[in-house]
Structure 1
């Protein structure tokens, strides 16, 4: 079922790509929009003529249609599967209301973390459970854990939630943490559980010896049912987990485009502004799946809902990426995702 939903998402992305490209080519003839468009899913060889490009696009569309036909024939199974779930509320007028209250594209990861936290160990279990959360920089590990910790069920399940860094695991800090745990244990005797949740954010590679000392010290001062979550870019922390690690990846092209389009247009139907939808898709492609850069760019587009202004934004981003690649040999969004300093231009000074 998940594969079928993924294929539907890819088909929708291909549909948007073809539709907005066709509209852009028509506008090019009218001297409205003159930018060329390239599919992120199809790598065209340099020098292919326009007719061959259209033929290749049509072949891609035909393949997508064939996949859709196969899925439609098997849709009864999906309907039966989905009917067992409770009905959702009607889609709000503004999609901002929906995306503002959820972790977009991270529902599965959030559910895994939530199930881990609310799972109750058998009575008498001595080991404290540890969940590693692994993923590249700026992928949303801390945001995911924070989002789950804000859930009322999690807050009601644990008496205290403590956020630490790998620096706090050093020997000189263990005494302070131990005193805090003992104090919490003494006060928690008045309630029914006294469980603690400790989130450890690791900047680089974790020191295994420091972690073992910290874990051993925590076992004698933390009550049964207390748990750990470790977040890191390094997959070395997976060996520290007592359960299977949650691995996070960047959003797919389809999910990123849906996220960008939905927040940019809000309650406005992109079909009513196909030229601007084409520009938005090109701008999203220049973002290279960078959520940090997308947030600021979306605000600029929302506050200046004008096709000429959006053309200037696209021209600016193309120039920035080209200059950055020639000077530093990489995409500026890659530097941001890896938490490295990036030399960026001010957009206002170029307009």
Structure 2
């Protein structure tokens, strides 16, 4: 199953962005005016369609065949390069349009685009495209040699999951007595004050936390057995089907009977008759469907049961719980304590070990391993089973120090379990989730900060028919990932979020080698040329900044804290000159940064610029040429006295933060032309025309 689960639309979504760019009318018109060879763009589209057609087969085979994985890596590398070129052309088209609109009609006004020879521009772009086409032609040829075939979308179709049953081995359950008693109390409670004859109790939690096990414990409890006249356990299929669920429930409450040729109407009427006036318990295990109407249609026969009937729903998705529940809140299943996790691990790991002296050594190592499980019973059970027949101390130490994704699929089902949740994500969420692998483990983040990064990396898909802002789309993506336990709130009262340790492992796995995090103790790690997103989670030695000359296609330069206190103007400006593909540049806290070189205006792709808490006095006027810039953070730039006078050219700017810039006397003129602006921390009123409060 694991191989199939690796299939997904992660790379497919990336290619879709390229298809959208290739269809952009303004870009095509701009190139047409320069007599650009449109045949190259058509050839690029054909090549991308060719490789896209076999992606599902490739993503499924990459685990068993390293050559296929390498093929996917090369394809993704080429896709990044193609996106860089198309984004640059789109930016040039935008610049040309803006400069044409702003001409005053005087002959002295010369466009920056006109300073570039049309022939040299076209020639340069065509040559770069030809290089990528050669690369893609080679990749397309390799797909045939690798035997890759056109295949139905594995990542977009559900993969059959293991069927669960109501049977449970209670001797293998630890730390769930309180949860069990709480659910049983809800089951046995009277419903006299409720408007609902049938109560729905959702149990919510991330994959592997033990929702099914808890439901099994409750289902088989003696008090529950006596309280309900009828019971039924249904493992809900991936593709939610009212007919199948109804048939399964009916089969459980009637004598053996074949309903294969029966219509849904007959099934529901038959089930209504069997449930009429009876107090029943039904468990719907592993629900994914969020369609309220589907649930209402399916539940019609249930409403004919006796008052006090109950339905337990287990789900990873809080939206499902909100739709189905009738109780005031749903039951959120928390992780096990380290002590209970250890008991479960030991139950599986130590049963067959005979040497007591070896056991003592392994127990010490095992307790450290259990901490890596972070309270997930599935992880503890799987790791315990993995080490069950191993008495070699070295083997246990190897497991302790290795990352979970290094385990083979046959030995460990941790990755497949988490991959299942990833597999069911829509393609647009897969890209956003994979990007989060840039954060180190245990890193805390806020919703707005992450959404702004997603925006800068062009990971948010806006519908042409929907009027929602990019921020609203990003918030929706974020909340979806929270509802499915990919992100977790630090506490109920805080606005900080984090990724579970094992979920972070999953993000690292699916992001390949394009995200790199420089962490403490890893200062000698090699930053490869394929890296596109670079995060510094530790103090950055100057020699590491010098090594950036090798990764000139970097898109993200992101210190997570003020980790560049002693970096000089020269080092920063040299890095800017080399990193021409940046979308995100954060230089917050550079204690020596008091001047930016004018070459900052050459970063055509830049969407996110953070210069907060630096002693910079002025921004170069070339900043006004960053037409794609969406976020400019200048907060606490205590020496800043002036903003670029042509800042109103930043028509895509959405967030401007100048809070704490106490020496800044006024805003530049015509700030009202920033039509995309969503958030402005402070407006400093000036005396001149175009700088007053009317703006």
What TM-score range do you get, normalising by the shorter chain?
Answer: 0.5 to 0.7
* Aligned partner of 2:271 among 175, 180, 183: 180
**Per-residue CA distance 1:155-210 (angstroms, 9 max, x = gap):** 2111211233273436964641441231343xxxxxxx721112223442421111
Deviation at 1:282, TM superposition (A): 3.4
What's 1:228 paired with?
311
What's 1:248 paired with?
333
**Per-residue CA distance 1:243-280 (angstroms, 9 max, x = gap):** 12110133244432343246544699999954222221
2:161 matches 1:107: no
What's 1:81 paired with?
none
Deviation at 1:224, TM superposition (A): 2.2
What's 1:337 paired with?
418
Deviation at 1:113, TM superposition (A): 1.2
1:256-275 matches, within 5 Å, as: 256-261=341-346, 264-265=349-350, 274-275=360-361
Does the CA-based 8 Å contact 2:341-2:380 persist in structure 1?
A: no
Distance in 1, Cα, partners of 2:286 & 2:345? 30
- Answer with 109-118 or 287-296: which moved more: 287-296
2:202 matches 1:135: no
**Per-residue CA distance 1:303-324 (angstroms, 9 max, x = gap):** 44x3xx1322432564464747
1:143-162 matches, within 5 Å, as: 143-162=213-232
What's 2:368 paired with?
282
1:181-200 matches, within 5 Å, as: 181-185=272-276, 194-200=278-284
Does the CA-based 8 Å contact 1:198-1:229 persist in structure 2?
A: yes
Distance in 2, Cα, partners of 1:237 & 1:121? 22
What's 1:169 paired with?
242
Deviation at 1:299, TM superposition (A): 4.2
1:75-90 matches, within 5 Å, as: none
Deviation at 1:121, TM superposition (A): 2.6
Does the CA-based 8 Å contact 2:197-2:309 persist in structure 1?
A: no
What's 2:192 paired with?
122
* Aligned partner of 1:211 among 272, 283, 295: 295
What's 2:39 paired with?
none
- Higher-Rg structure is 2
Q: C-alpha root-mean-square deviation of aligned residues, in Å?
A: 4.0
**Per-residue CA distance 1:63-111 (angstroms, 9 max, x = gap):** xxxxxxxxxxxxxxxxxxxxxxxxxxxxxxxxxxxx9447412222211
What's 1:347 paired with?
none
The 1:194–1:100 alpha-carbon spacing in structure 2 relative to 1, beyond 3 Å, is closer
User: Which of the two has greater helix per residue?
Assistant: 1
**Normalised TM-score (structure 1):** 0.53
| Ranges in structure 2 where 5+ consecutive residues have no aligned partner | 1-168, 247-262, 424-505, 510-695
Does the CA-based 8 Å contact 1:120-1:225 persist in structure 2?
A: yes
Distance in 2, Cα, partners of 1:178 & 1:260? 47
The 1:300–1:216 alpha-carbon spacing in structure 2 relative to 1, beyond 3 Å, is closer
Distance in 2, Cα, partners of 1:320 & 1:124? 50
Distance in 2, Cα, partners of 1:126 & 1:287? 40
The 1:316–1:127 alpha-carbon spacing in structure 2 relative to 1, beyond 3 Å, is closer
SS at match of 1:339: helix
Distance in 1, Cα, partners of 2:321 & 2:305? 22
Deviation at 1:235, TM superposition (A): 0.6
Distance in 1, Cα, partners of 2:266 & 2:173? 36
2:394 matches 1:311: yes
Q: Which has the higher contact order (CA 8 A, sep 6+)?
A: 1
Distance in 2, Cα, partners of 1:215 & 1:322? 41
Does the CA-based 8 Å contact 2:350-2:359 persist in structure 1?
A: no
The 1:198–1:316 alpha-carbon spacing in structure 2 relative to 1, beyond 3 Å, is closer
**Normalised TM-score (structure 2):** 0.29
